[in-house]
Structure 1
Amino acid sequence: MNAADDGRLDPSEGAETILRLPGLADTDLPFRGHRRIKEHLMRETARDARPARTPIRRPLALFLAAGAATCAVALAVTFGVSRFDERPPVARPEPAAVQLLDRVALVAQEAPAPTVRDGQFLYTKTTGHSTSLSETAGGGMAAARTDESAERWVSVDGTAGTLTRNAKGSATDPARGKDNASLNGPTYRFLESLPTDPDRLLETIYADTRLNHGGDSGSTTGPDQEAFVAIGDLLRTVEAPPGVSAALYRAAARIPGVILVPEATDAAGRTGVAIARVHKGERTEWIFDKGSLRLLGERTVLLKDSAWGKAGTPVTSVAIVGRGIADKAGQTPKQ
C-alpha cells in the first residue's frame, strides 16, 4: 500500500476496498443514497481537486482521553464568516469514503434502539493510550505513552454524575442535570434531541467550530478538523440512538478532506477499514470492522517523523471493547 504524503491513497485502491467489503454492492444502496453517491462521483470527475490550505502550527500537546470531547458546542450560536471560510477548502471528500460512510450509516440506522430508562447509565469500556512530550535534561524532547484504558458510566438523563474508572482510580464528574448536557458532555436524552437530518446536524457542529476554531480564534486546527474530531468523540463516548448515529456518519461524509484507509489496526489489535482525515502530518482514523461495519475505535497516526515518533506510529489509539446499560454506576452490564 503506497500512501501519499498527505495520507491519501490511489483512488483505485479505495474502490477495490469497498468492493471487498461484504454486503457493500451498489445495488444494496437505497435510491437516494445511490443518487447522492453518483452525483458526488460526477462532480469529482468534472472538477479538479482544489489545493490544500496550509495548516496552522499547533502547540506540542496531544492528549486523547477516552470520552473526552474536544469541542464544546453552543446550540444557539449562529454562523459567522471567518478567515478560514475565505480560504480554499482542503479537498472534497473521497468518493470511496462517502460510499463507506453511507454503508456504515445504513447499518447504524437499522440497529435496534437500546431500551433505557431515566436513572440508568450507559456503560463504555475502552482500552488504549495517548502520547505526551516532555523536555529532557539535555534540552531535547521525549515522547511517552500514557495508559488511557477506562470504564465509564454516563447518566442516561443527566441526573447523576459520570463515573470513570481507570489505572489512576475512580472519579465522578458532577451531575449535569437534564438541561445542561451538550455535545461536549452528552447524555442519551440529549442525543435523542439532536436532528437526524445530516445537514442540520452538521450545521449545529460547525456553529461551534467556526466560532471557536475560526481565523480569529487562535486555534491551531480550524473548523473542519474540529468538526471531524467532535463527531468522532460523540461516536466513541456514548452510544447514540440509531437515527442520530446514522446522521453523524452522513454528516462526516460532508466534511472536506475525509478519506478512506483500507487497513487499520485498533488499540485492541483488531484490524479493519478506516475513515480518516489528515491534519498537519497526522491522520485521525475511525476504524470499522470489515464484516459488521461496527465502530471499533479511533487512532491518530503520524505520517512523517517528528518528536512524537516515527512515521506510522499511532500517537493516540482508543478501542471500544464493551458497551451496555447498567442500573447503577460501577455495575458491569451483563454481556
Structure 2
Amino acid sequence: MNPADEPLGPLPGLSDAELPFPGRARLREHLVREAHSAPAPARPRRRAALLLAAGAAACAVTLAVTLGAAGPGGPPAAAPPDPAAVRLLDRVALTAQEAPAPAVRDGQFLYTRTTGHSTALSEVPGGAMEASRTDESGERWLSVDGSAAPVERTAEGGTRTLPWDGENRATLNSPTYRFLESLPTDPGRLLELIYADTRLNHGPGSGSTLGPDQAAFVAIGDLLRQVEAPPGVSAALYRAAARIPGVVLVPEATDAAGRTGVAVARVHGGERTEWIFDRSSLRLLGERTVLLEDGAWGKAGTAVTSVAVVGRGVSDRAGETPALVRPW
C-alpha cells in the first residue's frame, strides 16, 4: 500500500494525544488542503510513489521516481521511505510551519548553543587504530546576511573566527538566514536543488562513497540543525527529507543532552544517522550517528557523533551571548 493511501494510524512511540495539536484531525485537514491544491488530473500512482509524503502532486511523483532510481550499472536503489517516517516528518513539518520566524535584521547574528561530541580515528604505536572523542560543545554566531565571518566558542572558552573571504557567498553547505529565505518552499523543487548538488559531489565519478541519497539526507540535517531556518523553508526541508529513499523511523533515541525522543534516520555504510525529535513539541533536538556493527570506530550501538541544540537566540555582535537565549 502506498503511504499516501494508508490509514493514519498511530506512530510507534508517539500518540496523537502527545502532539501539540489535535494530531489526526489536523493532519486530515492538511491532506485535504494538499489534495485540493494539487494540479489535476493526477497520474495514477505507481509503486515508486512510496517516495512521496501524503497528498503530493502527480508531478512530484515523477521527481521522486527519478531521484530513487539507480542508473545502469549503479548500486541497487534504496528501499522506499518507511511510511511511519513519512508520517512523522509530515507532522514535524506542520509544526515547523506554524512556528514564529526569528525576529532578525541584517547585521545581526543567529546564536546557537550546542553540546555533544565527535570521534576521530588515529594510528597508535604498533599500527593499531584507536578511536578518541572530541568535545563538540560550544556556541556559534552566524551572520544573518553573510556580511561578517562566523564565530565559534568552544567548551573550554576559546573563541575563533572561521575562514571567510569577505564576500556573501552563501551556499547549501555554508548557508545564511537570508540564503535560506531565498530557497523554494515547494518540497519537490527544494529536493531537486539539493540533489543537483549531491549528485555532482557524491554521484558516479565523484570518488565519494557517500552517494547522492545519503548526502542529501546529511545536507538537510545540517541545514536544520546549524541554522534556525524560516518556518516555510523548515517545513519544506522536512517534507523533502520524507521523499529520500531509505529513511526509517527509530521509535526511541537519546540526544547528546540526555533527552529522549523519536527519530527519523537513514542507514549507510554500517552507520545510522538519526534526527532526534522531542515527542511532545516535535522540535528537532539534535543529530547522532550510531554504529550498526563492531569495527575500529567502536562497538555496535556506539554513538560516534552526537550533537544536540540546547539554546538559540539573536545577538547584535559576534561573540556576545544574547540577553535572551531560548532553551531548545
Same fold (TM over 0.5): yes
* 1:314 aligned partner, one-letter code: A
Q: Retained in 2: the 8 A contact 1:18–1:100? A: no
Q: Retained in 1: the 8 A contact 2:16–2:23? A: no
CA shift in 2, pair 1:285/1:179, >3 Å: same
* 1:156 matched residue in structure 2: 144
Return the alpha-carbon distance in structure 2 between the equivalents of residues 146 and 88 of structure 1. Answer: 35
* 1:26 aligned partner, one-letter code: R
CA shift in 2, pair 1:200/1:206, >3 Å: same
CA shift in 2, pair 1:132/1:92, >3 Å: same
**CA-CA distance at 1:261 after TM superposition:** 0.4
**CA-CA distance at 1:184 after TM superposition:** 1.1
Larger relative contact order (CA 8 Å, sep ≥ 6): 1
CA shift in 2, pair 1:36/1:285, >3 Å: farther
Which residue of 58, 82, 88 corresponds with 2:76? Answer: 88
- Number of aligned pairs? 290
Following superposition of structure 1 onto structure 2, how do residues 282-297 of structure 1 map, counting pairs within 5 Å?
282-297=271-286
In terms of mean alpha carbon deviation, does 263-272 or 135-144 score higher? 135-144
Return the alpha-carbon distance in structure 2 between the equivalents of residues 32 and 85 of structure 1. Answer: 40
In terms of mean alpha carbon deviation, does 95-104 or 161-170 score higher? 161-170
* 2:64 matched residue in structure 1: none
Return the alpha-carbon distance in structure 1 between the equivalents of residues 219 and 17 of structure 2. Answer: 27
Following superposition of structure 1 onto structure 2, how do residues 197-216 of structure 1 map, counting pairs within 5 Å?
197-216=186-205
* 1:113 aligned partner, one-letter code: A
Which residue of 20, 23, 27 corresponds with 1:29? Answer: 27
* 2:219 aligned partner, one-letter code: A
Q: Retained in 2: the 8 A contact 1:160–1:174? A: no
Return the alpha-carbon distance in structure 2 between the equivalents of residues 86 and 167 of structure 1. Answer: 44
Q: State the secondary structure of the residue aligned to 1:160.
A: coil
Q: Retained in 1: the 8 A contact 2:249–2:263? A: yes
Following superposition of structure 1 onto structure 2, how do residues 18-167 of structure 1 map, counting pairs within 5 Å?
18-19=14-15, 22-23=18-19, 25-33=23-31, 83=71, 86-167=74-155
Following superposition of structure 1 onto structure 2, how do residues 241-280 of structure 1 map, counting pairs within 5 Å?
241-280=230-269
Following superposition of structure 1 onto structure 2, how do residues 307-322 of structure 1 map, counting pairs within 5 Å?
307-322=296-311
**CA-CA distance at 1:304 after TM superposition:** 1.2
Q: State the secondary structure of the residue aligned to 1:116.
A: coil
Q: Retained in 2: the 8 A contact 1:14–1:261? A: no
Q: Retained in 2: the 8 A contact 1:265–1:272? A: yes
Q: Which digits, 9 at most, give the CA deviation of each residue in 1:132-175, with x for residues without a partner? A: 11112122111110111120000111111111111462111244
Q: Retained in 1: the 8 A contact 2:277–2:283? A: yes
Q: Retained in 2: the 8 A contact 1:94–1:259? A: yes
CA shift in 2, pair 1:227/1:289, >3 Å: same
* 1:170 aligned partner, one-letter code: T
The answer on 1:330 being equivalent to 2:326 is no
Q: State the secondary structure of the residue aligned to 1:212.
A: helix
Return the alpha-carbon distance in structure 1 between the equivalents of residues 17 and 286 of structure 2. Answer: 18
CA shift in 2, pair 1:290/1:32, >3 Å: closer
Q: Retained in 2: the 8 A contact 1:159–1:176? A: no
Q: TM-score, normalised by structure 1?
A: 0.79
Q: Retained in 1: the 8 A contact 2:138–2:152? A: yes
* 1:171 matched residue in structure 2: 160
Which residue of 206, 227, 233 corresponds with 2:216? Answer: 227
* 1:141 aligned partner, one-letter code: M
**CA-CA distance at 1:18 after TM superposition:** 3.8
Which residue of 224, 227, 243 corresponds with 1:238? Answer: 227
Return the alpha-carbon distance in structure 2 between the equivalents of residues 223 and 131 of structure 1. Answer: 24
Task: Give unpaired runs (5+ residues) of structure 2.
Answer: 1-8, 36-43, 51-66
CA shift in 2, pair 1:84/1:269, >3 Å: farther
Return the alpha-carbon distance in structure 2 between the equivalents of residues 246 and 227 of structure 1. Answer: 16
Q: Retained in 2: the 8 A contact 1:126–1:319? A: yes
Q: State the secondary structure of the residue aligned to 1:235.
A: helix
Return the alpha-carbon distance in structure 2 between the equivalents of residues 14 and 273 of structure 1. Answer: 13
Q: Which digits, 9 at most, give the CA deviation of each residue in 1:13-35, with x for residues without a partner? A: 98333436613643221445379
**CA-CA distance at 1:85 after TM superposition:** 8.9
Q: Retained in 2: the 8 A contact 1:125–1:321? A: yes
**CA-CA distance at 1:240 after TM superposition:** 0.4
Question: Once superposed, what is the RMSD of the aligned Cα atoms?
Answer: 2.9
**CA-CA distance at 1:177 after TM superposition:** 5.6
Q: State the secondary structure of the residue aligned to 1:196.
A: coil
